[in-house]
A and B are shown apart, each in its own frame.
Chain A
Amino acid sequence: MAIRTFIEAIREGLADEMRRDERVIVLGEDVGKKGGVFLATDGLWAEFGDDRVIDTPLTESMIVGASIGAAVNGLRPVAEIQFADFIHPAFNQLVSEAARMRYRSNNGYAVPMVVRAPYGGGVHGALYHSQSVEAFFTHVPGLKVVVPSTPHDAKGLLRSAIRDDDPVLFFEHKKMYRSVRGEVPDRDYVVPLGRAAITRPGSQVTVVAYGLMAHYALEAADRVADEGISVEVVDLRTLRPLDTDLLLSSVRKTGKCLVVYEDNRFGGYGAEVAAIVAEQAFDYLDGPITRIAGPDVPGVPYNHVLEDWFMVNPEKIADGIRRLAAY
């Protein structure tokens, strides 16, 4: 076992898959010599060359659209969108094209493609370098959406995503790139898509989270443990397809469910989690399904006081746990 930062694990995952499978290419803005603005692709251009590590123009729709075509003709593209905030010009290619290609061709065509994008706030990124965009895409059948929280999962899930035969959106919380470290096996391993994990067992409240919020949920669970509240943390890891079995079994055990997400509260991914729990575990609930989520403003404001107000943090989650536990 080696200790790796979150971004080192991603970089290793990319390099390992490119060594394993020559069909894997990387394309995006600044991914070549510079190695990406966050250095996720650092060293790949030197090792794999111009044909497999491609600096693109500033054209997000093209990055995704050409990746679709390249996937149709035998490659396994891993596209990088420099910030998730800038993925919207590619929305049509992702939603109308990549997501529907298999369905609309009755399995004639598939799009084995990964689109990586750094997301999330708390880094002084303001409205356009902080967004959580997962809910736009988890809404779309045909897309798979992955949000890892640990170096182990990031590498293992990235490998699974690259080997998967469907389009996968792979969102990486940029605040975790260098602040999160963890053990990563030296061997060739994968973390399967569609499987959540219980990262802390508990008995009184289930906290459902993903990405950076999965870490904050663990911190919050620590804080309330001293107060005698036993929290189980479910790290979803893959948002679609959702691991409903693990989610429901946890809620049926604890009887209480708090959903945490950094995105705006209204219509966010956690709303779907809440709906599924309400529909399928209602008889087990001892309290309302509640949400701790970002406020409903159009973006994360820049000033640090405003940003702190926006961001969900361990204490805000702990408060939510306390209220739900007391219900």
Chain B
Amino acid sequence: MARTSVGLGADVGLSNDDLVAMYRLVALARAIDERMWILNRAGRIPFVISGQGHEGAQVGITWALRRGHDWVAPFYRSIATCLTFGMSPRDIMTAQYATANDPSSGGRQMPGHYGSHEHNLVSVSSPVATQILHAVGIALAAKVRHTDQVAMTFMGEGSSNQGDVHEGLNFAAIHRLPFVFVVENNGYAISVPAAKELSVEDVAVRATGYGIPGVVVDGTDVLACYVAARDAVARARAGDGPTLIEAKVTRLTGHSSDDQQTKYRSAEELEAEKARDPLPRFREQLVAAGVLTDAVLSGLASEIVAAVEDATTYAEAQPDPDPSTALDWVYAERWPSETPPPWGLGRGSEDH
């Protein structure tokens, strides 16, 4: 296991344009996320599951992949990952509203269950950690088909305790698959602190049990995350097998809009965690390095406000799915034996 720490951008092969684009994604993900909570509290969307505090790690790590070529099996906090891998603010926001044209699921899944075939983002489900096996299978196919693709999956440290993780890492390591396993460790599995869900301080030490590298990285340090992922992706693509990256992040919100984290986290702890917010940290880094000027920052700020406003207005205006489509895509084809219920298929969502 290695601990990764680096200085600023130029050292790691990223241009200033890259850095600005990465900062924009972190800030955009945060702005969309904050809007989601406002919409929830305003009664516009019933449920929010948040990525606040995770965005720096997600952007830094996802940036190391080749968009439109590699694969990601994300999880429900992966807003910044999905934006980095090609989804748009409208794509994210239509998922919150569960509209007919929501590209993740056409309004079938809860918010947060993103996915996009267009962008090689595997559809998210709610049982946790199942996606590691999909990413491992994708990596297996990449190896068998010689596609030069890398598959990456993301989950929290709570999910990392599931049996599928053991089964997946073992198989990926045996076959040296082009696979990267990312754990976003925010210290809590809903309300249960890490000390009660992990027998070790670092999930990454478990990599030793599979004979693969395990890397702990400060998840509030975007560039350190990028470097860890860049190295892991290079190793995977070269045929040297999987890597476990554990990004230590913070969860700035409750588990979801149905959770009140003040019940199990002290005010002092929550106040202290604000210092680990990746957004201001990345901004200060880039300002100090002269990458972000006042002019660039204010330009980005207004662009992001406009994007969030556009996504919200757009999603609000999209129609709900029609119940007449509810039987579609159970299978590739319709079967006479798969019949509608006695109440039939309504026409027009206003009836339902």
Q: Which residues of A contact B (CB under 8 A)?
A: 25, 51-52, 54, 56-57, 59, 61-62, 64-75, 77, 89, 92-93, 96-97, 100-110, 141-142, 144, 164-166, 194, 240-245
Contact = CB atoms under 8 A, between A and B. Distances in A.
Contact of B328 (A25, A107, A166, A242): A107
Contact of B123 (A54, A109, A240): A109
A96 B336 CA distance: 24
Nearest to A141: B330
B271 interface: no
B332 A73 contact: no
B137 A66 contact: yes
Given A52-B144, A61-B164, A62-B164, 12 more contacts: A65-B133, A65-B164, A66-B137, A69-B133, A75-B144, A92-B130, A97-B127, A103-B108, A106-B106, A108-B123, A241-B331, A244-B336
Given A69-B135, A69-B136, A102-B330, A97 B130 contact: yes
Contact of B117 (A57, A59, A68, A109): A109
Indicate the member of B116, B122, B133, B168 with the most A CB atoms within 10 Å: B133
Interface string B211-240: 000000000000000000000000000000
Given A59-B167, A69-B136, A106-B108, A165 B142 contact: no
A62 B168 contact: yes
Contact of A242 (B108, B167, B174, B337): B337
Contacts of B126: 96
A80 to B, nearest CB: 15
Contacts of A71: 137
Contact of B136 (A65, A144, A243): A65
Interface in B113-170: 113, 115-117, 122-123, 125-127, 130, 132-145, 147, 149, 151, 163-164, 167-168, 170
Contacts of B133: 61-62, 64-66, 68-69, 93
A68 B149 CA distance: 17
23 contacts: A25-B144, A62-B136, A62-B170, A65-B130, A66-B168, A69-B141, A70-B140, A73-B147, A74-B145, A75-B140, A97-B125, A101-B123, A102-B331, A103-B330, A104-B109, A106-B329, A144-B331, A166-B331, A166-B332, A240-B337, A241-B335, A242-B337, A243-B337
B105 interface: yes
B338 interface: yes
A67 B127 contact: no
Would you list the 4 A-B pairs with minimal beta carbon distance, nearest first? A69-B137, A65-B133, A106-B106, A66-B137
Contacts of B330: 102-103, 141-142
A72 B130 contact: no
Contacts of A142: 330-331
Given A108-B117, A244-B336, A73 B141 contact: yes
B23 interface: no
A92 B136 CA distance: 16
Contacts of B278: none
Contacts of A244: 336-337
Contacts of B127: 92, 96-97
Nearest to B145: A74
Contact of A70 (B104, B138, B164, B174): B138
Interface residues of B, number: 52
B188 interface: no
Contact of B108 (A93, A96, A104, A164): A104
B170 A72 contact: no
Nearest to B100: A106
**Interface core residue of A62, A69, A165, A242 (most chain B CB under 10 Å):** A69
A311 B73 CA distance: 45
Nearest to A75: B141
Nearest to B130: A97
B134 A51 contact: no
Contact of B122 (A52, A72, A110): A72
Nearest to B124: A104
B141 A57 contact: no
A57 B167 contact: yes
A57 B168 CA distance: 10
A52 B331 CA distance: 27
A93 B174 CA distance: 21
A72 B171 contact: no
B241 interface: no
B71 interface: yes
A281 B26 CA distance: 61
Nearest to B330: A141
A70 B167 contact: no
A72 B337 CA distance: 27
B167 A61 contact: yes
Contact of B144 (A51, A56, A96, A107): A51
Contact of B171 (A59, A103, A106, A165): A59
A88 to B, nearest CB: 12
B303 to A, nearest CB: 29
A313 to B, nearest CB: 30
B347 to A, nearest CB: 19
B168 A241 contact: no
